[in-house]
Chain A
Amino acid sequence: MRKQCYKTIYEKIKDDDRVVLMLGDIGVHAFEKAFEEFPDRVYNMGIAEQNIIGMSAGMAMNGLIPIAYTISPFLIERAFEQIKLDLGYQNLGVNLIGIGASCDYASLGASHYCPADVSILKQIPCLEIVVSGTAHEFEQLFEQSYNNGNPTYYRLTDNPHGHFYDVEFGKANVIRQGKDATLVVVGSMLDVIMDATKDMDVTILYYTTLSPFDYKTLHENINSKIILCEPYYNGGILFDIVKTINIPVQYGFIGIPHKFQTHYGTYQEHMDSMGLNTKSINEYLRWFINV
C-alpha cells in the first residue's frame, strides 16, 4: 500500500500544481523522484509534526492542497490540537496520510502504535477519515477526495486485505447479505472476516470511509445482531452505528482491545494474541450468533 501511496502522491504532485507534500522525516528515500522533480513543492520538514500541521493550514488558506505524511501516532496524537483547531475548526482542505496503523510496527512498541486514531479523530467534527484496506482502494479514495476542501485523514496499513473491490468515498460496499447477523467491517479486517464467515449466513458491510459515515447502507441492512469488526480500538464508529439503529440490538466487537500492548514480535503474533485470527473470530461469531 505504501508503494501505491508513493505513486499516487507523485502523480498528484505532477498533475496538480496546488499539491504540496510535507514529510516528517519519514519516507524521504521513497519520494526521491518527487524531491528532484518538484523541489518547490516537496519538503522534508523534519521531525516537527505540530508545525507540519500548522503550516499545512497556512498553505491551505492560500489555495494550496497540502499533504502531511508521517507515522500515524506522531501525525495524529502528537499534533492533535493542531488538527482540531488549525484544520478542523477552520475547515481547511489538508490531507493527512499516516503510516503504521495500530500495531503495524509490531516490534517497535507502543510509542509507534496508533490504535486510538479513529476514536480520537471521530471527536473532530468535519474531519474526514478514510481507512483503505488495499492499495487499489487508497488510490481510488484519494483521487475522489484529496481536493474536496475538507481535512482528511488517510490511514494506511502495511497489512492490507487480499480482496479486490472498487470503493467510493463516503459509501460502504455490501459484500454479501445474510440473515443471522450484520457485520460492519472496516479496512484490513476484511480478510480475516471473510475467511471466518465462509459458512455463515451473515451480511457483510465493508466500510472504507468512516467520516462522513454511510448511515444509509447500514440502515438498509439492520439486523438484531450487529458486529463491529475494526482494525483499531474497539468501538471507534460505535456512535454512528447506534445512531442509525432504531430496534433493540445485540452488539459484538471484534477489534483491538482497549489496553496498552506490551509485546513486540510480529504483526501476526499481535493479531493472534488479541484473538484476531480466523479461528478465534469464527468461534466468537458462532457463539455470538447463537446466544
Chain B
Amino acid sequence: MEKIIELKKTMLTMAYQAQEGHIPSAFSITDILWVLYDKVKTENDYVILSKGHACLALYAILADKGLIPKEEINKFCKFNGKLGGHPRRNPEWGITASTGSLGHGLPISVGLALSKKIKGEDGRVFCIIGDGEFCEGSNQEAMLLASQHELSNLVCIVDYNHSLDKSVNVDSIANKFSAYGWGVSNIIGHNHFDLLNYLQDNMSNEWDEPFALVCHNTKGYGCPSIENNPSWHHINKLSKEDYERLLGELYA
C-alpha cells in the first residue's frame, strides 16, 4: 500500500537525519497505527504507545494527520526537538503518555479506561504493547485489574513480532489474556482488512470484557534485509548506502 510505504520512507529519513531510531519496531506497528488513526480512532478515543521505542511510526502518522507540525519531523532526536527517541506526553499533538520504560502503558491505559467509565464518557482506549515487554510484571497486574473492572472500553493491541523468542518461551500470548478474562482474537497485524474488522467499534464491543488483539507481526516488515534481524533493532548510525538500500527495498 502506497501510504504505508510513504510513511516508512518518512521514518527512514527521520532515522537517517537523526542517525538514531528503532526502525524495525516502528515498521512492525505501522499498519496497526495507520488503520487506527485513519479509520478507527474518534476524538473520544485515546491511543497509548506502550512500546515507546517504536515512536517513529507514531510521529510519522501524527504528522501525516496534521497533528504534529511537519517541521518537527526534521528535528527528531535533536536537542531542541520535541520528538525524542521515546515519546513525551504532549496531548496537543496527540501523544497521550510518556513511555519508554516498558510495562507502563497498559496500567496507564487501564486507569484511563476506568476514568471513562467513572465519568460516563464514550470512546475507547487503545494500548499498543510488544511481546518483548510482556515479561514486565506490571502487565500481568493490569490484565487482572482490567477484567476485574470489566473495562470493555479497553483494547490492548499486542505487536507479537517475536522479540521475546530470544529470551523467554511465552507460548500463546492470546491464551494468557484469555486466562485473565479478556476477549481475544489473533490476526496478522499487517492485514488492513483484518485490523479494521477487529478494531471497529462493533467488533471489539462484542465482549463485556477488555479486548486483546494479538497481531502476529514481522519486525522490520517492508524491508526484507532488516526483517527479524536483531542487529537492526536499534541503530545509532545509518550510512547513506544503507539508507538508500532500505528505501529501495520499500519500493521493490
B186 an interface residue at 8 Å Cβ cutoff?
no
Tell me if B118 and A54 are in contact (CB < 8 A): no
Which chain B residues border A104 with CB–CB below 8 Å? none
Instruction: Specify which of B103, B114, B121 lies most central, judged by the most chain A CB atoms within 10 Å of its CB.
Output: B114
How many A-B pairs have beta carbons closer than 8 Å: the answer is 97
Tell me if B112 and A48 are in contact (CB < 8 A): no
Tell me if B111 and A85 are in contact (CB < 8 A): no
Tell me if B101 and A51 are in contact (CB < 8 A): no
Which chain A residues border B141 with CB–CB below 8 Å? 48, 50-51
Interface residues of A in 49-67 (CB under 8 A from B): 50-51, 53-59, 61-64, 66
Q: Pick the contact of A90 from B98, B107, B117, B144 — CB < 8 Å?
A: B98
Tell me if A57 and B108 are in contact (CB < 8 A): yes
A251 CB to closest chain B CB (Å) equals 36
A99 CB to closest chain B CB (Å) equals 21
B96 an interface residue at 8 Å Cβ cutoff?
yes
Size of chain A's interface in residues, with CB distance under 8 A? 27
B240 an interface residue at 8 Å Cβ cutoff?
no
Which chain A residues border B125 with CB–CB below 8 Å? 58
Which chain B residues border A112 with CB–CB below 8 Å? none
Tell me if B111 and A59 are in contact (CB < 8 A): yes
Tell me if B108 and A48 are in contact (CB < 8 A): no
Tell me if A61 and B96 are in contact (CB < 8 A): yes
A5 an interface residue at 8 Å Cβ cutoff?
no
The interface bits of chain B over 127-152 (1 if a CB of A lies within 8 angstroms of the residue's CB, else 0) are 00000000001100110110011000
A54 to B104 alpha-carbon distance, docked (Å): 7
- Contacts A51-B138, A54-B104, A86-B107 supplied; 6 other A-B pairs, CB < 8 Å: A48-B145, A58-B115, A58-B125, A61-B46, A62-B115, A62-B121
B interface residues, Cβ below 8 angstroms from A: 46, 88-89, 91, 96-98, 100-101, 103-104, 106-119, 121, 125, 137-138, 141-142, 144-145, 148-149
